[in-house]
Amino acid sequence: MAKETPVTIHRNERVLAFMIAGIVGLSIVAFLTVIIATAVGLPGNQFQGGFWQAVALLPGVGLPIGFLLIIALLVISARRRGRDAAASVPRNSSSTKK
């Protein structure tokens, strides 16, 4: 039976994953807050300034940033796995054709 090695997540991947979770989670909470506020009866002119303007703007900025961070996480993870796979394959000079 082959010995299984545990998959380790490197620090930069872990940081990116938590950043994605935080930004997307906060954006979804802000989106739901705006929906609930309008359902309760908050007038539309209240969203023009202050706190509510920031809450209403957050999903429009946070979700695209989260999407870009997901792409960055996929690229970093693919590059690391490719490097690990290339490092684990032993190089044999007799198997290469010239």
pTM of the model as a whole:
0.74
Average pLDDT of the segment spanning 24-52: 89
| Within-domain flag for 73 | yes
Task: Output the pLDDT for position 30.
Answer: 96
Cα–Cα separations (whole angstroms), residue 23 to 11, 31, 74: 18, 12, 17
Inside any domain, residue 72: yes
Q: Do residues 24 and 30 lie in contact, with contact meaning Cβ atoms separated by under 8 Å?
A: no
CA distances from 82 to 18, 37, 89 (A): 23, 48, 11
- How many structural domains are present in the chain? 1
Could you tell me if residue 7 is inside a domain? no
Domain assignment of residue 18, given as a range:
13-87
**pLDDT higher at 97 or 44:** 44
Nearest to 59 by CA among 39, 34, 36: 34
Q: Is 50's pLDDT higher than 70?
A: yes
Task: Give yes or no for residue 97 having a pLDDT over 60.
Answer: no
Domain-embedded: residue 18: yes
Q: How much is the average pLDDT of 55-84?
A: 93
Residue 51 has pLDDT above 90, yes or no: no
* Per-residue pLDDT at 10: 83
What is residue 8's predicted lDDT score, i.e. its pLDDT?
A: 65
